[in-house]
Amino acid sequence: MFGWPLRHRSVFVIDTGPDGKPLTKCALIFGMDPSQSVLRLWKTLMDAKKNGTKIIVADPRRTRTAELADLWLQLRPGTDAALLMAMINVVIQENLYDKEFVENWCYGFEDLKERVKEYTAEKAAAITWVPADKIREAARMYATERPGVSLHGMGTEHLETQQEAIQARLILAALCNNVDVRGGDYINGPSKCVPETDLQGGRFLSSEQRKKQIGIDRFRLLSWPGRELIWEQNRKHWGSECGTYAYAHTPSLMRAILTGKPYPVRAVFTANNNPLITLPNVKLVYKALKSLDLYVVKDFTLTPSAEIADYVLPTACWAERPALSTGHGLDNKILAGEAALPAIVPGKHEYWTDYDFFRALGISMGQADYWPWKDLEAVFDYQLGPLEMTLKQLMAQKNGALSLPEEFEKHRKRGGFGTPTGKVELKSTILEKLGYDPLPSHWEPHESPLSRPDLAKDYPLMLITGGRFLPYFHSELKHIDSVRKRYPDPKLQINPETAGKFDIKDGDWVWVETIRGRVRQRADLFDGIHPQVVHGQHGWWFPEKPGEEPWLHGAWESNINVLTDDDPDHCDPRSGGWPLKTALCKVYKCKTY
């Protein structure tokens, strides 16, 4: 939409002036709880709130971030796009948008205006459960308290309408002239060093080989067709690709392993990944991985996925390797670190970095020309080359942290944005070229009380998953005794009213069941969730349980992804993102004796 990505949420900040007070007047946050996921952002939000920044949070759960907010929009799972389209409707109908910016710097406004007519606050209220008055209040607050920032978390990205919702959020930001301005959403432009994404080997693939990418025929935005169109514009405008990755579609890949269509996939390598816990529909994932001729795992510990691998290779941890972060190439802050411990101690252990492993594998396959750097530090020296620094120099001179000057209003200085039209594309010409609707819209999730009333008779509750919770990070740290003692069991958030109907008390072990299976978690009675919604924690496995099959460290016991869907027909049609936030379930007590 803007010809370059906005600053990534992992490096998100709120701008401050010389007096230290926030320049950002409003922060709009969808499906994200920084108090559990991005702690530096959580600190930033708390400080900003104290100094007058308005905060709007849209989330089905009353998180700590929602409690901090001036306005909490408790929406029904899967309806983010409808809520945002209604907010756009209010901004347009009440003439709250920036007319000069829209007229001179936006493309497709009239078509957008026509599209959002159907998304009145009243209609959206019926869809989202958010009262119409609150929708209008949120739209007015965001549109009048400028400049403002907006961001979304995995709560939005785990929807089957993820791209529709993200596009709508960015449209709202553009209408209010909150993009490429100090205090608003920041467009960095090309990194001042070589970003990680520019090192990806996919750029060396021929066009014939790229066409073989699994999912490319259907999910075109994040695979090669979409990336190539975007890179073409980036090169024209910025002289750099911002080579974000081109992804194969994981659920389609699992089906290709099992069926041999569109072609056989017989070997898989996973590095620091635990697909039996983190991917959706893990029963199918298990069947796919077990059917391979070769499955290699590179990880820190014996996870459930590692237990079914043909080979398990120990990997160097964060303290045993150097580090360099360029913020995905989307930020002016560069962070680095030297290895604190040796990865290889002769006679004791030999842990390879991922780079060392894949370089050795590549060279053995005749790819020496593509691996010119002898180790990870040499890679980082190459990345820092444009800054005329090495990793050691960055550590010595800047203590590993370098902040470069930020530049705003670049579109005015450059005569436009890096899009085919040179403007912010409210109506996306690239989506249109890929064969998609160029404007966002809302549709009902495939598995909801409205789309599947027949299923809802037996599975009356809506299951959402994946909310972050400390002290864990995804499926990591379960094997550390001190961490497990702090948080020993998985929890299912359930409204006390709902729990009472099923004679469930706080702390009871309960079964959570969908049409794909059932797992058990402890009931966590929580009045900050709607009576028709429950939230199951993700990432649970039990290292203390046997690793051999069929136990696999309890991979089937409390793993919420036993219950989630990955049917390609239910994935986001543009990106292929799978729906981890919308499923129908029932909850009942586990029997005790």
Residue 117 confidence (pLDDT): 97
Cα–Cα distance measured from residue 179 to residue 217, given in angstroms and rounded to the nearest whole number: 33
Question: Which helix (H) or strand (E) covers residue 333, if one does?
Answer: strand 333-337
Cα–Cα distance measured from residue 33 to residue 497, given in angstroms and rounded to the nearest whole number: 24
Task: List domains and CATH numbers for the chain.
Answer: 9-188+418-433 (3.40.228.10), 196-325+333-403 (3.40.50.740), 453-589 (2.40.40.20)
Which residues lie closer than 8 Å to 374 by C-beta, 6 or more apart? none
Amino acid found at 11 = V
Q: Are strands 509-514 and 517-525 parallel, antiparallel or unpaired?
A: antiparallel
Cα–Cα distance measured from residue 332 to residue 410, given in angstroms and rounded to the nearest whole number: 15
> pLDDT 10s digit of each residue in the chain, 593 long?
888 888 877 777 788 888 888 899 999 999 999 999 988 889 999 999 999 999 999 999 999 999 999 999 999 999 999 999 999 999 999 999 999 999 999 999 999 999 999 999 999 999 999 999 999 999 999 999 999 999 999 899 999 999 999 999 999 999 999 999 999 998 888 888 888 778 888 888 999 999 999 999 999 999 999 999 998 898 889 888 776 788 899 999 999 999 999 999 999 999 989 999 999 999 999 999 999 999 999 998 999 999 999 999 999 999 999 999 887 777 778 899 999 999 999 999 999 999 999 999 999 999 999 999 999 999 999 999 999 999 999 999 999 999 888 889 999 999 999 999 999 999 999 999 999 999 999 999 999 999 999 999 999 999 999 999 999 988 888 999 999 999 999 999 999 999 999 999 999 999 999 999 999 999 999 999 999 999 999 999 999 999 999 999 999 999 999 999 999 999 999 999 999 999 999 999 999 88
233, two tokens: 């514009």
E-strand stretches of 401-556: 401-403, 424-425, 461-465, 491-494, 509-514, 517-525, 533-536
Residue 363 confidence (pLDDT): 97
Is the pTM here over 0.85, yes or no?
yes
Q: Is 354 helix (H, G, I), strand (E, B) or coil?
A: helix
Cβ atoms of 519 and 562 within 8 Å: the answer is: yes
Residue 243 confidence (pLDDT): 64
Q: Is 542 helix (H, G, I), strand (E, B) or coil?
A: coil
From the number of C-beta atoms within 10 Å of its C-beta (0-12, 13-18, 19+), residue 520 rates as middle
455, two tokens: 């299923």
Q: What are the residues facing 587 on neighbouring strands?
A: 512
Residue 233, CB half-sphere, CA atoms under 13 Å: how many?
22
Question: Which helix (H) or strand (E) covers residue 210, if one does?
Answer: helix 207-210
2, two tokens: 């803007």
The overall longest dimension of the chain from CA atoms, in Å, is: 73
Cα–Cα distance measured from residue 260 to residue 52, given in angstroms and rounded to the nearest whole number: 58
CA 199, chain centre distance (Å): 22
